[in-house]
Amino acid sequence: MNYEHKTMNRNKEFNMEKFVISVLVENKFGVLARVAGLFSARGYNINSLAVGETEAPEVSRMTIVVDADERIFEQVKKQLNKLIDTIRVQDLTGGEYVDRELIFIKVKAEKIGIREKIVKIVDSTGAEIVDIGKKSFTVEESGDEHRIKALIELLRPYGILEIVRTGKIAIQCDN
Amino acid sequence: MAKITGAEMMIKGLIAEGVTHVFGYPGGTIIPLLDHIYKGKDIKFHLTRHEQGAVHAADGYARVTGDVGVCMATSGPGATNLVTGIATANMDSIPMVAITGQVKCTLIGNDAFQEADMVGITRSITKHNYLVKDIKELPKTIKEAFHIARTGRPGPVLIDFPVDVQVQMAEFKYPKTVDIKGYKPTYKGHLGQIKRISKAIAKSKKPLLYVGGGVILSEASKELTKFARKTDIPVTTTMMGLGAFPEDDRLSLGMLGMHGTAYANHSVQAADLIIAVGARFDDRVTGRIDDFAPNASIVHIDIDPSSVSKNVEVDIPVIGDAKEILKELNKIAKKGKFDEWHKTIAVWKKELPLKYKDDARLRPQYVVEQIYELTKKEGAIIVTEVGQNQMWAAQHFTYTKPRTWVSSGGLGTMGYGFPAAIGAQVGKPDAIVFDIAGDGSIQMNIQELATAVLEQIPVKIVILNNGYLGMVRQWQELFYDRRYAFTTLAKKDCTACPDFVKLAESYGAKGMRITEKSEVKKALKTAIKTKGPVVMDFIVEREENVFPMVPAGKSISEMLHGLA
Ligand SMILES: Cc1ncc(C[n+]2csc(CCOP(=O)(O)OP(=O)(O)O)c2C)c(N)n1
Ligand SMILES: [Mg+2]
């Protein structure tokens, strides 16, 4: 063979990142399964997914947080767009947006001293205790990722029994 | 307005969409629908002997006509028997509407008799699918299903149609237009991008057109041929693109990829500009991706944005319909000066032609070549099964027109060919239709001989009988130390099983066995002259291999040449 061989780099290396997308879909049965199926069939990872109705009742919004590299994320967006029931895919990652998540943390709280300490932590962070059990407290917090992570870390030493979180919702800022 | 039943609505919808042929199989939950086809006269129903036969026939019909293929099956096992065929159509972007009966709405979810969740099962193998629970939604659903199947990047759409909705009554008004918020395919290419292609060609010394099935789907062969000739750029096609560009043209390099020609693959590796049109950089084409076209900038024209930069980073993407974009390109295309490039390629063509041992033995490649020789004047439609037979059919027949090559590319479905050939013959009743088959594949849907005989669908089946699951055996020979694990189909003394001639005759078809090279032409001529279906059992060289070959996962620079 008489051609030169200067290899072009056909597959660049990408780093894994977290991406946030907001997807408007038809509010019909089966749509969530289509979206979830798309991720599982192609081996993409969903970090969180939150769904709810929008201002227009025939349209739902899904806020999806995806763990992916840039190349896979491009495919995720294109594949989501390709679904017939997808009306719009909005990538929030690059721009300015506000995001919130709601979390319940059930934390072990048996001894009096410990119970007091937890109450203090909760007060100082602005979170709220929504259930006082004999052996545990349930703490509610809403906020962005940092805020929620901070609270989890503060409570972890006392023994976290259960965590329930909604997944992130996000909205683009007006500017 | 008078009320009509759901079943009647469906038939009216099909007629409005121009459907004249349906392939299918009956069962409890689809009786009302088939009853209306039976009572009417606008739609011809073809009863196959297996639902898989029906779905592949609808697919073959779609591939040769360009229309939407339609198939029907009952709920549960009937519907699940369609799955392989729907996946086959999906992989090759074939427009199809599959209609399945479903249990009564009130029973859905109850594990009722013959209930299967078809919308769930086919979600990832259809372009879109529907379960019609409300008769008011039916007209819109039919309209949308056909629209989605045939527009954009085409594909199969399934409508799951509960039996109680088939007999409900409602007023029927068929919508004239479709408006789906989330589905607006792009047809016109971006003019700025199109100009960039033209500039890239002007800078290039070694450009190459890499053409896929998208050109056939968009009916863009004429525009492509004009573009190639005008710019003097050589053309290689994928297996799905066979027929998109005349292979007897001096610019044709034939097929590229795993079993492509050596000169096509060398051209890809040497090119400085690859212009992909309606192709998707499938792994059977690219080989090891990081060494694919290492010297080339890449232009990608495709209607599906998700195909672009999926496998290979693209430098100039143009989203839109191949035909529209090629038309625009033709307006600004200039005559190229690629004499050096053509000379280089000519040397490869001369030194590394497609060849096989043309001795006295009956070799499968010779049979394919003779089919071409005997039909080149009037033309033929070549349908294939999967395996070595498929690759020899791709390599040794010269395709000059679109929609004359029908083969399961993306899924590689054994058992596809014969029913697809039946569908193709129904779609093109005057064409000579050959199914080039392997002795393994043909047994997967051989029951359709009954369909072909009873409806007098004159498909010519050419079994390249090597007594093996040949393609797998080839891999075992080359990469597994000749351990032929479970790939031998013949009896211990090497006689074929079954006796295909007797089998054909038992169905009432003509059967022939050919064991000598000298008998090939005569047998083929007889078959072509015969009015009904014919089964030709060619007992070919048993361990013939398909070459050239790029081993899976290797770079396309690392071809095995066999004899060449
Ligand atoms: C449904 C299905 N099962 C298995 C395979 C894997 N496969 C690919 S080629 C092949 C052998 C085909 O044998 P035959 O039809 O005799 O064709 P030959 O290669 O001998 O020409 C097999 C088993 C397939 N492609 N499809
Ligand atoms: Mg075989």
For residue range B52-61, list pLDDT tens digits in order.
999 999 999 9
Are A41 and A90 part of one and the same domain? yes
Task: State whether A22 and A82 are in the same domain.
Answer: yes
User: Is position B79 within any domain?
Assistant: yes
Instruction: Give the distance from residue A33's alpha carbon to the nearest chain B alpha carbon, in angstroms.
Output: 8
Domain holding A31, by residue range, is 17-94
Strand order, beta sheet including B433-438 = B405-406, B381-384, B433-438, B460-465, B534-539, B510-514
- Say which of B128, B290, B309 has its CB closest to residue A84: B128
Q: Say if residue A89 is in the same domain as residue A105.
A: no
A76 found inside a domain: yes
Q: Which of B328, B351, B374 is the last residue of a domain?
A: B351
Closest Cα in chain A, distance from residue B232 (Å): 21
Judging contacts by C-beta atoms under 8 Å, the chain A residues touching residue B128 are 84
Ligand 1 pocket test: pick from B83, B383, B416, B441 the residue with the most ligand atoms within 8 Å of its Cβ.
Answer: B441
Exposure on the CB side of residue B309, measured as CA atoms within 13 A: 19
Identity at A139, one-letter amino acid code: V
DSSP, res B481? T
Beta bridge partners of B383: B406, B435
Q: Which helix (H) or strand (E) holds B346?
A: helix B339-351
Q: Does residue B484 share a domain with residue B373?
A: yes
What is the nearest CA distance from A117 to chain B, expressed in angstroms? 51
Alpha carbon of B256 to ligand 2 centroid (Å): 23
Same domain assignment for residues B340 and B373: no
Confirm whether A1 is domain-assigned. no
- Scanning B411-499, the segments in alpha helix (DSSP H) are 417-427, 449-454, 470-479
Closest atom of ligand 1 relative to the B386 alpha carbon = 9
Q: Residue A146 sits in a domain of what CATH number?
A: 3.30.70.1150
Residue at A163 is within a domain: yes
Taking residues B403-426, report their average pLDDT.
98
Angle at A50 between CA A49 and CA A55, to 5 degrees: 140
β strands within B163-256, DSSP E? 169-171, 207-211, 235-237, 252-255
In a domain, A57, yes or no: yes
Mean pLDDT of B82-95: 98
- Please check whether residues B292 and B398 belong to one and the same domain: no
Contacts 24+ apart (CB under 8 A), A126-132: A127/A151, A130/A104
Instruction: Assess whether B8 and B150 both reside in one domain.
Output: yes
In this structure, the answer to whether residues A105 and A87 fall within a common structural domain is: no
DSSP assignment, residue B241?
T
Instruction: Assess if residue A150 is contained within a domain.
Output: yes
Q: Is residue A11 part of a domain?
A: no
Cβ distance of A5 and B296 shorter than 8 Å: no
Q: Which domain holds residue B486?
A: 364-539
* Residue A10 in domain: no
- Classify B283 as helix, strand or coil: helix
Q: Residues B342, B271: contact at Cβ < 8 Å?
A: no
Give the whole-angstrom CA distance, residue B363 versus residue B517.
8
pLDDT for B442-469, tens place per residue?
999 999 999 999 999 999 999 999 999 9
Chain A interface includes B109 (CB < 8 A): no
What's residue B392's pLDDT? 98
Q: Are B393 and B354 in contact, with CB atoms under 8 Å apart?
A: no
Residue ranges near ligand 2 (ion) with Cβ within 5 Å: B 438-440, 466, 468, 470
CB B74 within 8 A of CB B29: yes
Nearest CA to ligand 1 atom 13: B469
- Before A157, cis peptide (omega within 30)? no
Which ligand 1 atom sits nearest the alpha carbon of residue B390? 21
Residue B356 lies in a domain: no
pLDDT above 90: percentage of residues in chain B:
97
Residue that finishes a domain, picked among B351, B372, B387: B351
Name the packing angle between helices A112-125 and A145-155 (round to 10°): 170
Confidence (pLDDT) at B491: 86
Q: Mind listing the pLDDT tens digit for each residue in B495-541?
A: 889 999 999 999 999 999 999 999 999 999 999 999 999 999 999 99
Residue B341 CA to residue B231 CA, distance in Å, equals: 13
**B180 assigned to some structural domain:** no
Domain tally, chain A:
2
| Residues B228 and B79 occupy one common structural domain | no
**Distance (Å) from CA B540 to ligand 2 centroid:** 9
Rounded-to-integer distance, Cα A91 and Cα A85, Å: 18
What confidence category does residue B160 fall into, taking pLDDT thresholds of 50, 70 and 90?
very high
Region of B136 (left: φ > 0; alpha: ψ -120 to 50; beta: rest) is alpha
Residue A106 bridge partners (DSSP): A138, A162
Residue at which a domain ends, from A94, A114, A138:
A94
Question: B207 with B280, same domain?
Answer: yes
Average pLDDT over every residue of B165-188 = 97
Residue at B561 is within a domain = no
What CATH number has the domain bearing residue B54? 3.40.50.970
Whether the Cβ atoms of residue A104 and residue A139 lie closer than 8 Å to each other: yes
Mean pLDDT, range B325-343, rounded to an integer: 96
Which of B48, B81, B82 is closest to B158 using CA atoms?
B82
**Would B563 be classed as within a structural domain?**
no
Q: Is A163 helix (H, G, I), strand (E, B) or coil?
A: strand
A86 and A143 together in one domain:
no
Q: Supply the pLDDT for residue B361.
A: 97
3-state secondary structure B412-428: CCCCCHHHHHHHHHHHC
Give the integer Cα–Cα distance in Å for B212 and B232.
Answer: 19
The full 3-state SS of B539-555, as one line of letters, equals ECCCCCCCCCECCCCCE
Identify which of B131, B183, B294 has the shortest CB distance to residue A5. Answer: B294
Say how many Å lie between the CA of residue B386 and the centre of ligand 1: 5
Task: Among A6, A38, A87, select the one facing B182 at the smallest CB separation.
Answer: A87
Q: What is the pLDDT along chain A (175 residues), one digit of tens a residue?
A: 444 444 445 656 778 899 999 999 999 989 999 999 999 988 898 999 999 999 999 999 999 999 999 989 999 999 999 999 999 999 999 899 999 999 999 999 999 999 999 999 999 999 999 999 999 999 999 999 999 999 999 999 999 999 999 999 999 998 7
Say yes or no: B37 and B143 in one domain: yes
As for ligand 1, residues whose beta carbon falls within 6 Å of it are B 385-389, 412-415, 438-441, 464, 466, 468-472
Question: Is A2 part of a structural domain of the chain?
Answer: no
Helices of type H across B487-538:
500-507, 520-529
Say if residue A148 is in the same domain as residue A102.
yes
Check whether residue B83 and residue B232 sit in a common domain.
no
Note whether A85 and A102 are same-domain residues. Answer: no
Contact B271, B206 (CB under 8 A): yes
For B297, the token pair is 């900038």
**Do B434 and B324 lie in a common domain?**
no
CATH number assigned to the domain comprising residue A80: 3.30.70.260
Residues A29, A81, single domain; the answer is: yes
- Are A102 and A86 found together in one domain? no
Do A84 and A110 lie in one domain? The reply is no
- Chain B residues in contact with A74 by the CB 8 A cut-off are 309
DSSP state string for B18-34? T--EEEE---GGGHHHH
How many domains are contained in chain B?
Answer: 3
> Chain A contact for B131, CB < 8 A?
yes
Residue B328 lies in a domain: yes
Domain boundary among A94, A118, A142: A94
Report B:263-282 residues touching A (Cβ under 8 A).
Answer: 266, 269-270
Over residues B398-404, mean pLDDT: 98
Query: Are A67 and A37 within one domain?
Result: yes
Listed residues A34, A69, A94: the one ending a domain: A94
> Quick one: what percent of chain B has pLDDT higher than 70?
100
Q: Could you tell me which chain B residue has the CA closest to the CA of A12?
A: B313
Q: Is B45 on the interface with A (CB under 8 A)?
A: no
Same-domain pairing of A45 and A89? yes
Q: Which of B52, B367, B386, B476 best tests ligand 1's pocket when mutated (most atoms within 8 Å of CB)? A: B386
Asked if residue B456 and residue B409 are part of one domain, the reply reads yes
Question: pLDDT of B268-323, one tens digit each?
Answer: 999 999 999 999 999 999 999 999 999 999 999 999 999 999 999 999 999 999 99
Q: A51 by DSSP, 3-state: which? A: strand
CA of B388 from ligand 2 middle (Å) equals 7
Name the more confident of B493 and A126: A126
Domain check: are B447 and B329 in the same one?
no
Contact list in B for residue A83 (CB cut-off 8 A) is 182
- Residues A76 and A22 sit within 8 Å (Cβ to Cβ): no
Residue B234: asked if its preceding bond is cis (omega within 30°), the reply is: no
Residues B340 and B411 in one domain: no
Please tell me which of the candidates A4, A78, A85 has its beta carbon nearest to residue B295: A4
Q: What is the DSSP string of B128-156?
A: EEEE--SGGGHHHHHHHHHHHHHSSS--E
